[in-house]
């Protein structure tokens, strides 16, 4: 991690934890309207799918950057053809002032070119002058349906030398996140980590997403808790307040906790933002690295890795 990244992280920790929240958007119909509900200057990540491809992600990135947001496009390695294609992609990002990207393998069945996984793309970007100042990578506290635990760990450790931060897959419970983060701390992972949580959404849609993604302990917990599932089927929106409350002690702890929240909004931005802003008043969170109770820290999903 270079001095510029350390300075950026220090600045992030000096702000209220809620200001470090990242909002993930899908580049589909209605995205621009959803973006209208974001806080001014928010950090917005833009996903990339085999169906819509990198071009859709880049077009959305350019629009969001023009609207004044700090944009983090997802770059899916399996959709990048070769070095020339990669240089063109990075050139477009540089033109609109984007200096942060999230590198994933991607869900495409077969790579279209020379980069079968995220690590290969990171290695290629390391030698380019147009490499963004910050690169993020995915982490999987609840495992991945196509990749074994040992391979996931090895991959994350290899990426740590090439990236600047990690973002966890969508999780519905704090326990898997906390256990994974403690294990990574013991193993010496130096990357700052953003905790991936769901936004506010319709309960039935949330349950469908959870079951489709197969999110390990979280989904097993949903199946065990018949009362919880019954609440999911009520008309009122789901809000992950219990999850955030359990994560509260670890938020803002760069060394062994989570530098901030990464909210998977599925483009339901307006209710998610209202909930987060209301939660700030109800759930106290360590706000600044300069406050007496803040722990000192020294920097040391989604698609396939």
| pLDDT tens column, 25-43 | 999 999 999 999 999 999 9
Q: Are 34 and 269 in contact (CB under 8 A)?
A: yes
Residue 207's pLDDT is what?
73
Residue 205's pLDDT is what?
79
Contacts for 149 with CB less than 8 Å, ≥ 6 apart = 143
The confidence band for 172, taking pLDDT boundaries of 50, 70 and 90, is confident
In terms of Cβ atoms closer than 10 Å to its own Cβ (0-12, 13-18, 19+), residue 213 is middle
Residue 19's pLDDT is what?
45
pLDDT at 284 over 60: no
Mean pLDDT calculated for residue range 76-83:
98
Rounded to two decimals, the pTM is: 0.83
In degrees, rounded to 5, the angle at the alpha carbon of residue 43 between the alpha carbons of residues 39 and 45 is: 120
**Fold that domain 3-282 belongs to in CATH:** TIM Barrel (3.20.20)
Q: Are 78 and 116 in contact (CB under 8 A)?
A: yes
Contacts for 285 with CB less than 8 Å, ≥ 6 apart = 16, 17, 18, 248, 251, 252
Q: Whole-angstrom Cα distance, residue 94 to residue 122?
A: 17
pLDDT at 265 over 80: yes
Q: Whole-angstrom Cα distance, residue 9 to residue 303?
A: 25
Residue 283's pLDDT is what?
52
The confidence band for 100, taking pLDDT boundaries of 50, 70 and 90, is very high
Q: Per-residue pLDDT tens for 106-118?
A: 989 999 999 999 9
Residue 290's pLDDT is what?
28
Other CB atoms within a 10 A radius of the CB of residue 3 amount to 7
Q: What is the domain partition of the chain in residue ranges?
A: 3-282
Residue 140's pLDDT is what?
94
Residue 219's pLDDT is what?
57
Q: Are 102 and 115 in contact (CB under 8 A)?
A: no
Q: Are 167 and 136 in contact (CB under 8 A)?
A: yes
Q: Which residue has the higher pLDDT, 16 or 137?
A: 137
pLDDT at 203 over 90: no
| Mean per-residue pLDDT over the chain, rounded | 83
In degrees, rounded to 5, the angle at the alpha carbon of residue 275 between the alpha carbons of residues 274 and 280 is: 100
One-character DSSP codes across the chain? --HHHHHHHHHHHTS-GGGG-EEEE--STTHHHHHTTSPTT-EEEE---TTTHHHHHHHHHHHHHHTT-EEEEEEEGGG--SHHHHHHHHHHHHHTT--EEEEE--S-SS-SSS-SSHHHHHHHHHT-TT--SEEEEEE-TT--SSS-HHHHHHHHHHHHTT-SEEEEPP-S-HHHHHHHHHHHHHHT--S-EEEEEE-SB-HHHHHHHHHHHT-HHHHHHHHH-HHHHHHHTSSSPB--HHHHHHHGGGBT-TTTSBSEEEEE-TT-HHHHHHHHHHHHHHS-----TTSTTPPP------S--
Structure token digits, residue 1: 């991690």
């Amino acid at each position: 991690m270079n001095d510029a990244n350390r300075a950026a992280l220090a600045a992030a920790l000096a702000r209220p934890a809620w200001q470090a929240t990242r909002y993930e958007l899908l580049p589909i119909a209605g995205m621009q309207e959803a973006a209208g509900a974001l806080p001014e200057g928010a950090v917005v990540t833009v996903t990339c799918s085999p169906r819509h491809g990198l071009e859709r992600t880049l077009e959305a990135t350019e629009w969001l950057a023009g609207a004044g947001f700090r944009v983090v496009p997802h770059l899916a390695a399996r959709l990048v053809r070769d070095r020339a294609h990669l240089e063109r992609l990075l050139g477009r990002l540089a033109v609109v002032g984007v200096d942060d990207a999230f590198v994933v393998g991607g869900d495409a069945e077969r790579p279209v070119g020379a980069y079968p996984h995220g690590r290969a793309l990171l290695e290629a970007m390391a030698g380019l002058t147009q490499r963004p100042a910050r690169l993020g990578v995915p982490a999987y506290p609840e495992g991945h349906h196509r990749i074994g635990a040992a391979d996931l760990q090895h991959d994350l450790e290899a990426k740590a030398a090439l990236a600047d931060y990690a973002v966890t897959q969508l999780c519905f419970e704090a326990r898997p996140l906390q256990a994974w983060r403690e294990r990574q701390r013991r193993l010496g992972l130096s990357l700052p980590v953003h905790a991936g949580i769901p936004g506010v959404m319709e309960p039935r849609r949330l349950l469908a997403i959870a079951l489709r993604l197969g999110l390990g302990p979280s989904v097993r917990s949903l199946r065990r808790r018949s009362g919880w599932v019954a609440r999911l089927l009520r008309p009122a929106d789901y809000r992950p307040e219990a999850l955030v409350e359990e994560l509260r002690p670890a938020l803002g702890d760069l060394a062994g906790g989570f530098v901030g929240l990464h909210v998977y909004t599925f483009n339901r931005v307006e209710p998610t933002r209202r909930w987060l802003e209301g939660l700030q008043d109800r759930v106290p969170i360590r706000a600044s690295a300069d406050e007496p109770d803040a722990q000192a820290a020294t920097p040391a999903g989604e698609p396939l890795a």
